[in-house]
């Protein structure tokens, strides 16, 4: 009986660890733009890093708390880490 319990526990632990090791899926630009507009961002303000696929970058000047929370929720649901890059764009032209 104890062998059965040990085997079941080992199998459960293996399954739990394999779920954590799932590689990140590369999302299309269209998918990211859909998320961006759904979170109140402009097209192109969400980028998934090709080298570090688990990173979802939000590049925006002065994002709202709601926008950041929306992106963070989507990233978490999709196994990604949200990274917020606050950009300061120069005002006016050169």
Return d(Cα 21, Cα 90) in angstroms, integer: 42
Q: What is the pTM of this model?
A: 0.70
Amino acid 12: pLDDT: 54
pLDDT, one tens digit per residue, over 25-84 is: 899 999 999 999 999 999 999 999 899 999 999 999 999 999 999 999 999 999 999 999
Q: In what order do the strands lie in the sheet with 81-86?
A: 46-48, 55-60, 81-86
- Reported as a pLDDT band with limits 50, 70 and 90, residue 5 is very low
Q: What is the pLDDT of residue 91?
A: 78
Torsion angles phi and psi, residue 73, rounded to 5: -60, -45
How many whole angstroms separate alpha carbon 44 and alpha carbon 25? 18
pLDDT, tens digit, 9 for 90 and up, residues 59-70: 999 999 999 999
């Amino acid at each position: 009986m104890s062998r059965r319990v040990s085997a079941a526990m080992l199998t459960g632990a293996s399954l739990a660890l394999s779920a954590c090791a799932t590689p990140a899926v590369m999302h299309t630009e269209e998918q990211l733009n859909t998320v961006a507009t759904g979170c109140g961002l402009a097209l192109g303000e969400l980028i998934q890093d090709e080298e570090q696929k688990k990173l979802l970058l939000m590049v925006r000047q002065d994002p709202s708390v709601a926008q950041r929370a929306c992106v963070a929720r989507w990233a978490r649901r999709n196994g990604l880490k949200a990274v917020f890059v606050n950009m300061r764009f120069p005002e006016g032209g050169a």
